[in-house]
Chain A
Amino acid sequence: MKRLAAAEIGTRWTLYDLIDQLHGERIGATLNEWLIKGCLDFLDEGQSAWRMPGRRQGLFQSWCQIARRNRRWRLRGLDLGPTLERVEQPEAAIDLVMTRLAIPERLWMDYFAVELSKLHGWAGFVRWRAQARDYYWQERNPADLVDFIAIRLILSLPLIEEAERRHRRDFLYPDWVRCMSERPHECLLRRELHSGAILPDYAHRVEVALDGGDTKGIETLCLDYEREKTAREAASRALRLRELCELAGIPRAELATQRSGALRQMIEAVHGLRAREGFLWMQALERTYIRHLLDRLAAPRETPAEALARTGTAAPGIAGSKVQALFCIDVRSERLRRQLEGLGHYETFGVAGFFGVPVNFIELGKGHESARCPAIVTPRNVVLEMPHEHAPHGPSLFHLATEVVHDLKCTALAPYITVEAVGLLFGFDMVGKTLAPTLYHRWRKRLDNGRPPTRLMIDKLSEEDARDLIASLHDELVVRALDRQLGIKREAVTTGMIQELREIALGRAAAPSQLARRFDLDSATETVFITRLRLEYRLTPDQARLQLEQLARIGFRIERQALLVRNTLTTIGLAEDFARTILVVGHGSRSQNNPYESALDCGACGGDKGLVNARLFAAMANRREVRERLAGQGIRIPEDTWFIPALHDTTTDEIQLHDLDQLPPGRLTQLTRIQEDLAAAGRLCARERCAALGETGIDSPEAAARRVKRNALDWTQVRPEWGLSGNASFIIGHRDLTRAVDLAGRAFLHSYDHRRDASGASLEAILSGPLIVAQWINLEHYFSVVDNAVFGSGSKVYHNVVGRFGVMTGNVSDLRTGLPAQTLRQGERPYHQPMRLITVIEAPLPFVQGVLSRVFKVRELVENGWIRLLVIDRAEGAAHLFEQGTWMAQPWTPRPENGRSAAVEPARRARKRQVPVETPS
């Protein structure tokens, strides 16, 4: 039997783990509960009504203040006071406790890791927070892992000391080392007893012997116990092996004739397989999938020309006949793309759903920026959403807008800039809330009742415009301050007076002001007013400078817009043969009462809906100035080509077109048909989706569409859609490779044409961006399904939203990470099939190897087997899989490129052994 090893103390087990295991305590559970409560109070982001005081000092300091007064602990006889008195910093606390526990310093790092693994959800959140730049709550209430561990250690100390008193033993590190080396038998029996693994008929004897404390007696009993337990375990293993051999067609009589050597070999082979069985199963799943995929990619299919002929649509090239559509690479786009193309005259492309436009977005009415791009990208530019029209609001929030418009009439989007919208950028989110609550609420209500049409401010402001804008904002603040602080209305003052007050506040003019003379204010009142302008309304030179810097982040220069559009178009191989209408389709999900709704949105847009990026890309690609620059680089987008943004609702498969008001009127008539086609394709997708969701009684696409819509609005629905569940592959290649292949909504599809990418730069970008995101998605699903309790988040049914940032199971639990059971499992069975991302690149192998050598991270992932890489070269008719450090040629014969007549290759062929073609890249 395996005995406890001293080397595991501090590297696998904490000291209190050993007390729990060998003395039947529950220190670990108690510690977890106390630490979770501390984290809950401190990390709360506005959910609890009663806030923890002093949070701005940081996690450790504020927790210490509360801990000193915790009566519950004192009642239990635990007094943290003396320890807390002696440490002011978390590092000192760690030092103190680790020294007190006498843990050698060489083990500290391992010990910290074991401590952190106890509540990896909470620790992971604190770790994320500590490195998140500009995270409001971290800036306000800072916390890091040093605080976290310090608190855990401080709490553990009195609990360990309490156990020492109760058991009249020392539980420090050297005591445990001594215990294991001098009294291994006692340790073994104690662990057997308290873990419940003890043989029932031995339980009483063991307990009595341990209580008696006779070392010799314990040793004798232990040796007897070990012998007996080993014999019983061996008997049950032997029984199973006999059953196994019988199942394998080896009767007992035949087994009995075997020599010891053969039996030994069999026992060891079975045992050896145990360690690798899970890995083998996963490989089996992957290999089966890869073979089926290769078969389907090789099978003869309808060409685009044949599809057009079948559907009776005009041949491509005839003006107006073709519609192109850019979709996100998301697996849920695959169905829609296939169904849409099946209708006849659609050509679709796949690209990461932020369409290559990384941006911080400030939504109308929201006071913060949200990054709309993959988590691995840090956006530099900010885009504001501006209301289209300015509805009257009495002495309105918008009444100054006209002045702004006047000042900025040269800017393309000037009519849409409002002081409020720009104010949001400066953290004046609460301009309405603090200065005009009633109006603010009315405004919010209007936003909530129906969003006004908006435009996105995508262009850069000139410095002069920016200065004018800030001056206007400041004037607006002066007007409000006058009204609120002095009761002076706008009509009673002149623009000159307002500007003078602004200049005084900014230190560019001196009091007394015209206003003071006009309203006969004494100098004290005027000084108080100016001070308030500086302190409360932030009218200071420093703020003005910061605001100017902030404004410089707004929008994109034309050159940058052209670059972004060009990169996206060339990456997907769309550099000529543009259709008149090109849809840019972002996606988002719709469900009710679902804390995980964001997990169903677009991962490439930072877990948000993809519409903003689609609108930005379309707006940029429609700009004349952008097209002029693109034409200079060889990408000629015809004048009558129009990019139209759209949103694909992945719960209902409805597609809504946006920004139609910006289309030339002539175009609107053609849109009706496109909208009908999108609706038809959506209904066909809904039917597929209903089958996957196990919905019954669906006899038509229309019925399916009704059912999925109901799911989206039903707030008791735990599984509005399967989301990305089922994802298995990532195919980087021309759509010709996958067109008309039913990939069952399991493949990420990225359009790519290696013939247009001589340098490999586009492939490099795809590998280092979208592939990494897809790999994260894939492995999040993998681990959430193989162990939903640890890596996933368990059943949604028991979830409680905490602190507005996460969920726990029940009242107290680790912060749940990963995906809920309902996303991955269907009843008792896994719906998601866990395998590593099968990544297919359509390009010559040496070319892929060259690109791979330049992308370290992806190469590491491939070589370490986190991604399965399959390279398909259609021109050569070859496929190579990277396996066990080698590229293995796969049996594969593609369909002929020119139609189906010559393609008679059967779907399944006899397998040949895989042939390694070369050594590791």
Chain B
Amino acid sequence: MTGNPPEPHPPSPNADGPRQGQTQPSATSLGRALKIRSMVTVAGEFLPFVWPMRNFIHHNPLHGLEHLPFEAAVDQASALFHARGYLRRTEYQALLREGHIDSAVIEELVAEFLLAQGPDQPAPEHQAEDGATLDLHRILVTLMTRMDQPSVGNAFPSTDAILAQLRPLAEAP
């Protein structure tokens, strides 16, 4: 971007602000230096060791987060390192096709997931019968096993916004 007009906050060093004392020699007392050193040490605890590769040592890249449950640690590491914590869905689906994952197990896990969502969720076997509710179990199993695109991506525009898009089709009140 070029040709910016003057900004609402022109760069005028504040006499009382942080730029003060630029010409003073910096002196850090021993106590202060130790404090900074310990802050850096603690801040670095999440970092996995990297050994010289002459002797490659296998290690857990998330070793510094082992005090957390696996799932929480993966979430935290994903944010910290901007990394994935699991394979892509299509890669798992390939494992499913090859028999490394049993489709009955997926059904079980989705049922357990729905159960954990809360007691107000209707039991899977009762959902579709009266036509009033949707068979969430079937929908989620289908999502996992047959959809190759994420049905809900990273951007989640809110339930109401999506509902508003689905509503025009729905005739029921």
| Interface, chain A (partner B; CB < 8 A) | 1, 12, 23-24, 45, 86-87, 89, 91-92, 94-96, 99-102, 108-110, 112-113, 116-117, 120-125, 127-128, 145-146, 149, 164-165, 167-170, 172, 174-175, 178, 183, 207, 210-213, 215, 229-231, 233-235, 237-238, 240-245, 247-250, 252, 254-260, 262-274, 276-285, 287-289, 291, 370, 375, 595-596, 598-599, 601, 603, 606-608, 724, 773, 775-777, 779-781, 783-787, 789-791, 804-807, 815, 817-818, 829-830, 833-834, 836, 860-861, 864-866, 911
Query: How many angstroms from the CA of A301 to the CA of B92 in the assembled complex?
Result: 32
Q: Is B105 a contact partner of A288 (Cβ separation < 8 A)? A: yes
What chain B residues lie within 8 Å of A787 (beta carbons)? Answer: 83-85
The answer to the question of B147 belonging to the interface, with a C-beta cut-off of 8 Å to chain A, is yes
Selected contact of A786 from candidates B84, B101, B135, B171, CB within 8 Å: B84
The answer to the question of B119 belonging to the interface, with a C-beta cut-off of 8 Å to chain A, is no
Q: Is B102 a contact partner of A265 (Cβ separation < 8 A)? A: no
Q: Across the interface, name the chain A residue whose C-beta is closest to B13.
A: A170
Query: Chain A's nearest CB lies how many Å from the CB of B109?
Result: 5
Query: Can you identify 16 A-B contacts, CB atoms within 8 angstroms?
Result: A92-B27, A94-B36, A117-B46, A128-B50, A175-B9, A231-B157, A257-B171, A265-B136, A273-B140, A274-B150, A284-B92, A288-B102, A288-B105, A791-B83, A806-B52, A860-B67
One digit per residue, 1 when the CB lies within 8 angstroms of any chain A CB and 0 when it does not, for chain B 132-155 equals 111110111111101101111101
Q: Which of B12-59 contact A (CB under 8 A)?
A: 17-19, 22, 24-28, 32-33, 36-37, 39-44, 46-59
Q: Is B1 a contact partner of A270 (Cβ separation < 8 A)? A: no
Knowing A836-B70, A864-B68, the reply to whether A264 touches B5 (Cβ < 8 A) is: no
What chain A residues lie within 8 Å of B27 (beta carbons)? Answer: 92
Which of B1, B40, B96, B169: most chain A CB closer than 10 A? Answer: B40
Q: Is A596 a contact partner of B18 (Cβ separation < 8 A)? A: no
What chain A residues lie within 8 Å of B105 (beta carbons)? Answer: 284, 287-288, 291
Query: How many angstroms from the CA of A777 to the CA of B163 in the assembled complex?
Result: 46
Beyond known contacts A169-B10, A607-B57: 15 more, CB 8 A cutoff:
A92-B28, A95-B32, A101-B18, A112-B40, A215-B8, A233-B157, A241-B162, A245-B139, A257-B171, A262-B132, A266-B139, A281-B87, A375-B57, A606-B55, A866-B66
Knowing A168-B4, A278-B86, A288-B100, the reply to whether A123 touches B44 (Cβ < 8 A) is: yes
What chain A residues lie within 8 Å of B100 (beta carbons)? Answer: 285, 288-289, 833
Q: Is B70 a contact partner of A864 (Cβ separation < 8 A)? A: yes
Query: Chain B's nearest CB lies how many Å from the CB of A140?
Result: 14
One digit per residue, 1 when the CB lies within 8 angstroms of any chain A CB and 0 when it does not, for chain B 49-93 equals 111111111111111001111110110000111111111010110
The answer to the question of B126 belonging to the interface, with a C-beta cut-off of 8 Å to chain A, is no
Q: Is B87 a contact partner of A598 (Cβ separation < 8 A)? A: no
Query: Chain A's nearest CB lies how many Å from the CB of B142?
Result: 4
For chains A and B in complex, what number of residue pairs have CB atoms within 8 angstroms? 399
Q: How large is the interface on B (under 10, 10 to 19, 20 to 34, 35 or more residues)?
A: 35 or more
What chain A residues lie within 8 Å of B89 (beta carbons)? Answer: 277, 281
Q: Is A288 a contact partner of B60 (Cβ separation < 8 A)? A: no
Query: Chain A's nearest CB lies how many Å from the CB of B26?
Result: 5
Query: How many angstroms from the CA of A168 to the CA of B6 in the assembled complex?
Result: 7
Selected contact of B165 from candidates A12, A235, A773, CB within 8 Å: A235
Q: Across the interface, name the chain A residue whose C-beta is closest to B150.
A: A274
Q: Is B69 a contact partner of A865 (Cβ separation < 8 A)? A: yes
| Interface class of chain B by DSSP | loop
What chain B residues lie within 8 Å of A100 (beta carbons)? Answer: 18-19, 22
The answer to the question of B123 belonging to the interface, with a C-beta cut-off of 8 Å to chain A, is no
Query: How many angstroms from the CA of A534 to the CA of B63 in the assembled complex?
Result: 47
Q: Is A248 a contact partner of B85 (Cβ separation < 8 A)? A: no
Query: Chain A's nearest CB lies how many Å from the CB of B94?
Result: 6
Which of B58, B113, B166: most chain A CB closer than 10 A? Answer: B58
Query: Chain A's nearest CB lies how many Å from the CB of B23?
Result: 9
Q: Is B169 a contact partner of A256 (Cβ separation < 8 A)? A: yes
Q: Is A91 a contact partner of B32 (Cβ separation < 8 A)? A: yes
Q: Across the interface, name the chain A residue whose C-beta is closest to B48.
A: A124
Query: Chain B's nearest CB lies how many Å from the CB of A28?
Result: 12
Query: Chain A's nearest CB lies how many Å from the CB of B45?
Result: 9
3 closest residue pairs by CB, A with B: A278-B86, A238-B165, A102-B18
What chain A residues lie within 8 Å of B80 (beta carbons)? Answer: 113, 117
Q: Across the interface, name the chain B residue whose C-beta is closest to A866.
A: B70
Query: Chain B's nearest CB lies how many Å from the CB of A701?
Result: 26
Q: Is B33 a contact partner of A92 (Cβ separation < 8 A)? A: yes
Query: How many angstroms from the CA of A145 to the CA of B11 in the assembled complex?
Result: 33
Q: Is A603 a contact partner of B58 (Cβ separation < 8 A)? A: yes
What chain B residues lie within 8 Å of A110 (beta carbons)? Answer: 43
Query: How many angstroms from the CA of A175 to the CA of B49 in the assembled complex?
Result: 36
Q: Is A12 a contact partner of B54 (Cβ separation < 8 A)? A: no
Which of B156, B165, B169: most chain A CB closer than 10 A? Answer: B165
What chain B residues lie within 8 Å of A257 (beta carbons)? Answer: 131, 170-172
What chain A residues lie within 8 Å of B81 (beta carbons)? Answer: 117, 120, 790-791
Q: Is A280 a contact partner of B55 (Cβ separation < 8 A)? A: no
Query: Chain A's nearest CB lies how many Å from the CB of B155?
Result: 5
Query: Chain B's nearest CB lies how many Å from the CB of A780?
Result: 4
Q: Across the interface, name the chain B residue whose C-beta is closest to A164.
A: B11
Query: How many angstroms from the CA of A258 to the CA of B163 in the assembled complex?
Result: 11
Selected contact of B55 from candidates A86, A123, A178, A607, CB within 8 Å: A607
Query: How many angstroms from the CA of A256 to the CA of B9 in the assembled complex?
Result: 53
Q: Is B135 a contact partner of A112 (Cβ separation < 8 A)? A: no
What chain A residues lie within 8 Å of B82 (beta carbons)? Answer: 790
What chain A residues lie within 8 Å of B102 (beta carbons)? Answer: 284, 287-288, 291
Selected contact of A776 from candidates B7, B9, B60, B85, CB within 8 Å: B60
Q: Which of B88-119 contact A (CB under 8 A)?
A: 89, 91-92, 94-96, 100-102, 104-106, 108-110, 113-114, 117
Selected contact of A213 from candidates B5, B79, B94, CB within 8 Å: B5
Query: How many angstroms from the CA of A278 to the CA of B78 in the assembled complex?
Result: 12
Q: Is A277 a contact partner of B57 (Cβ separation < 8 A)? A: no
Q: Across the interface, name the chain B residue whose C-beta is closest to A599.
A: B56
Q: Is A112 a contact partner of B39 (Cβ separation < 8 A)? A: yes
Q: Is B4 a contact partner of A791 (Cβ separation < 8 A)? A: no
Q: Is B43 a contact partner of A109 (Cβ separation < 8 A)? A: yes
Q: Is B57 a contact partner of A264 (Cβ separation < 8 A)? A: no
Q: Across the interface, name the chain B residue whose C-beta is closest to A596.
A: B56
Query: Chain B's nearest CB lies how many Å from the CB of A631?
Result: 38
Q: Is A212 a contact partner of B5 (Cβ separation < 8 A)? A: yes
Q: Across the interface, name the chain B residue whose C-beta is closest to A233.
A: B157
Q: Across the interface, name the chain A residue whose C-beta is closest to B96.
A: A284
